[in-house]
Structure 1
Amino acid sequence: MRKGFKKVLSIALCAAMMGTMLTACGGGGKKDAAKKDNKEITIGFSQVGAESDWRVANTKSMKEALSAGNGFKLSFADAQQKQENQTKAVREFISQGVDVIAIAPVTETGWETVLKEAKEAGIPVITVDRQIKTSDDSLVSCWVGSDFKKEGVEAGKWLIKDMEKKGKKAANIAVLQGTIGSSAEIGRTKGFKEGIKDAKDFKIIASQTGEFTQAKGQEVMESFLKQYKNIDVVVAQNDNMAFGAIDALKAAGKKPGKDVTIISFDAVKAALKEVQNGQINAEFECNPLHGPRVADLAKKLMNGEKVEKVQYVEEQVFTKDNVDKFINERQY
């Protein structure tokens, strides 16, 4: 009887122990999951700089979305237009052991080595606005930004139609390029040429970088006006360069938007006002509010979810016909 009692007791104790182990495993799993869900995500963001109104709006969007209130701890680094500063910042992020790295790169190339270091550290990389070209696609988890080539193509097509309305079949075009080698410059340059390829008498007579700044844009436009007497169209690859071009044209006694057609990219509020007053003829939007999308992607990556490599933002075109509907809603 005692032997049987011991056997029953032994079975009961084993069952109790197994139950405790199962409960511990189940409870621990839920606790770990909850901890993962509630974990503050540390993210390092290397920004190009503050060269334009667009860039300032982009930085603001990123900082607001990647805030403590949204579950993030942000380390922010302003590269001041220098890639070497970005490389240094990324290495600092790696040494800090951040969970995610975000980069708005100065140029597309020259990233291979430092991105391999991030991969070896197990840190996913999100590129913002501009893209990065590498021989290994796995070095960048995803990219958030605009279809720059499409913007350029649409600008070219718009110009052909606009000139047709004015009864003009020929046009001498001056282009203020952005930072040479940046995704925006490459895409918009290539796209615009593609957009006007069927207009045989549309000629790009001048093309030079204005470095995405108003001062440089004005300087380059002044140089163009000294070299070429008959400029029909100015294509500025961002609004700040367009503002500089407008100042240069006025100083030369020309009426922007009338004597010279102005096409610009970004569509910041100040530029939309120029569309309203007729000094800019067409604005091709480049949406800078990337923060919410980056925050969402960072969370998904931390949860082990798969994300699409390319994440385009929604954009539109503004002319005098539709600008009044949108200008008051502009956040930047």
Structure 2
Amino acid sequence: MKHIRYIFILINISLAFSILSCDRSKDVEKIHIGFSQAMTNDDWRRSMNNSMELQASMNPEIDLQIKDANYDVLTQIKQIDELIADSVDVLIVSPIQSKPITAVVRKAINASIPVPVVDRKTEGQQYTAYLGADNIEIGRNAAKEIIASNRKDSIRIIEIRGMAGSSPAEERTMGFQQVINQFKNAKIVAKIEGDWEKESIQESLRQLLNNDIKVDYVFAHNDRMAVGAWEVARELGIENEISFIGVDGLAGTNGGIQAVKDGILKATVLYPTGGDEAIKLALKILDNESIPKNNILSTTIINELNADIMNNQFEKINDQQDQMEEQLAAIKLQEELYYSQNNLLKITMALLAIILSLTVYSVYSIFAIRKKNRQLELTNEKVTVQRNQIEKIAKEIKISNEAKLNFFTGLSHEFKTPLTLILSSIESISDYAKEKGSEWGTK
């Protein structure tokens, strides 16, 4: 009985544990993707991150980890080392500068971690795949836009470059010069080195313009520097004498498309962020699909002719993304509600199983106790019968003993009377003999 109780307890514990241990952790095996972002202090980079996170959220098996190097090469190298140590399945990198990041990217590849790079490249194509627009073609498109929209005999251009050592800056300059050098009336009169932020170029441009340098166009490697150049020209009152062309073509109030609509920029070259495409590329790499070394995103010129159309398209895309994010948030909320209710149901089932087991055990115990009671009653009946038999035998023995006692008592009485008479006679004879003996002695 005792060991059966222990068996029931063990069954209940095992059942409850098996029910409660079934949770969401075993649903899908996670894919760990690390992303080393160069910086996130501008809308273009934030848009890239948002696109990545949105695409990752549509794939529940993806665990995306984004690290922001904040323009610091040493920080980016350290963060990439951390992602390598975490044994991520895919390491996406947007290098701040090409050469310093090459060694650590090679380290990741040697550790059997695929490394697609986005927006920027490392030296010697030391990466698994590149995803981004063709920056040489972007430079060419900007130069073609300048040539096509100019009706002057000579074109004087200031080029505002991105950060030195970054592949987009080098390639955009290369493509831009390839086209400009084909036209004798076009000339780059000055170059300014920036770091992709407008504050980095404004003072240098102010000094150039104050020196009465004649300029018709300013080509900046991104829209932020192009708008910064326009702000300097506006300070000097010559913003209407110069046309400004940038790169990125983001939608939104602070984006390049709005700057074109507002007349601040003459044109901007669309440069897609490719955030969602980077996640898709990472999944293809993990699935061992055949992918090209260079995955080029399409680009186009945005000017006053198509700015409204492009802006409307991007607004629709952004609205759809917002709706998707809301739907994903609602789905996530429903999933959390489902899992909480599912866990509650499992707990209830475990408790019901325990109650059912205890009920079965109680019924079993009742029948077992009844069986034991019946056995005790039968034993008691046997003991009662045996006790009655013993009492009867004891009475018979008592009667027999009393009869024997009476018999021997009577017999002893019968022997005692003659013996008493004999003894009395003997004593009388003895006394008579003694008296006679004394009398003979005196004579």
Q: TM-score range by the shorter chain?
A: 0.7 to 0.9
1:249 matched residue in structure 2: 233
Structure having the higher strand fraction is 1
- Residue 127 of structure 1 aligns with which residue? 117
Comparing 124-133 and 291-300, the one that deviates more: 291-300
Which of 314, 338, 344 pairs up with 1:330? 314
1:264-302 Cα offsets, whole Å, 9 max, x none, are 1111123212211222111111011x2221222211222
Q: CA deviation at 1:150?
A: 0.4
| Residue in 2 that maps onto 1:219 | 203
Among residues 31, 44, 68, which one is paired with 1:41 in the alignment?
31
In 1, the alpha carbon distance for the partners of 2:60 and 2:275 equals 11
Corresponding residue of 2:20: none
Amino acid at match of 2:208: F
SS at match of 1:306: coil
The letter of the residue matching 1:87 is I
Structure 2: which 5+ residue stretches go unaligned?
1-26, 319-443
Contact kept? 1:179, 1:212, Cα under 8 Å = yes
Judged with a 3 Å threshold, the aligned counterparts in structure 2 of structure 1 residues 209 and 66 are, in CA distance, closer, same or farther, namely farther
One of 265, 276, 279 as aligned partner of 2:261: 276
Structure 1 residue 226: deviation in Å? 2.0
Which residue of structure 2 aligns with residue 304 of structure 1? 288
Cα separation, partners in 2 of 1:100 and 1:70, compared to 1, 3 Å: same
In the alignment, which residue of structure 2 is the partner of 1:31?
Answer: none
CA contact (8 A) 1:267 1:284 kept: yes
Asked whether the 8 Å contact 1:40–1:71 carries over to 2, the reply is yes
TM (norm. structure 2) is 0.62
Match of 2:242 among 249, 254, 260: 260
Write the mapping of 1:15-164 to structure 2, written as runs, cut at 5 A: 38-67=28-57, 69-134=59-124, 137=125, 139-163=126-150
> Contact conserved, 2:69 with 2:76, CA < 8 A, in 1?
yes
Work out the CA distance in 2 between the residues paired with 1:186 and 1:271.
22
* CA displacement at 1:57 relative to structure 2: 1.2
TM-score, normalised via structure 1 length: 0.82
Which letter does structure 1 place at the counterpart of 2:259? E
Deviation for aligned residue 1:186? 0.8
Letter in 2 for 1:143: Y
Residue type at the aligned position of 1:262: F
Provide the secondary structure at the position in 2 that maps to 1:213.
coil
Q: Distance in 1 between matches of 2:202 and 2:250?
A: 18
CA distance in structure 2 between the partners assigned to 1:58 and 1:326 by the alignment: 18
Q: Which runs of 4+ in 1 moved over 3 A?
A: 67-70
Secondary structure of the structure 2 residue equivalent to 1:198 = coil
Matched AA of 2:172 = R
Displacement of 1:68 in angstroms is 7.3
Q: For structure 1, which runs of at least 5 residues remain unmatched after alignment?
A: 1-36
Q: Matches of residues 285-300 of structure 1 in structure 2 within 5 Å?
A: 285-288=270-273, 290-300=274-284
Residue range with higher mean Cα deviation, 201-210 or 83-92: 201-210
Q: Which residue of 1 aligns with 2:399?
A: none
- Residues 203 and 228 of structure 1: CA distance in aligned 2, closer, same or farther (over 3 Å): farther
SS in 2 for 1:159: helix
Aligned to 1:6: none
Amino acid at match of 1:210: G
Give the match for residue 5 of structure 1: none
CA distance in 2, matches of 1:65, 1:223: 45
Percentage identity across paired residues of the two chains = 29
* Deviations 1:131-181 (CA, angstroms, capped at 9, x unpaired): 1113xx5x4111110100001111112211211xx3x02122111111112
2:323 alignment partner in structure 1: none
Partner residue, 1:231: 215
Q: Is contact 2:162-2:196 (8 Å) kept? A: yes
CA distance in 2, matches of 1:192, 1:305: 35
Assess if the C-alpha contact under 8 Å between 1:221 and 1:244 holds in 2.
no
Partner of 1:21: none
Matches within 5 A, 1:196-215: 196-215=180-199
- Alpha-carbon deviation of 1:69? 4.3
> Distance in 1 between the 2:154 and 2:94 partners?
38
Count of aligned pairs between the two proteins: 289
Distance 1:103 1:222, change over 3 A: same
Residue identity in the other structure for 2:53? K
1:47 and 1:76 in contact (8 A); partners too = yes
The one-letter amino acid paired with 1:205 is V
Preserved contact between residue 276 and residue 323 of structure 1 (Cα < 8 Å): yes
- The answer to which structure has the higher helix fraction is 2
Q: Could you tell which deviates more after superposition, 68-77 or 210-219?
A: 68-77
- 1:184 equivalent in structure 2: 168
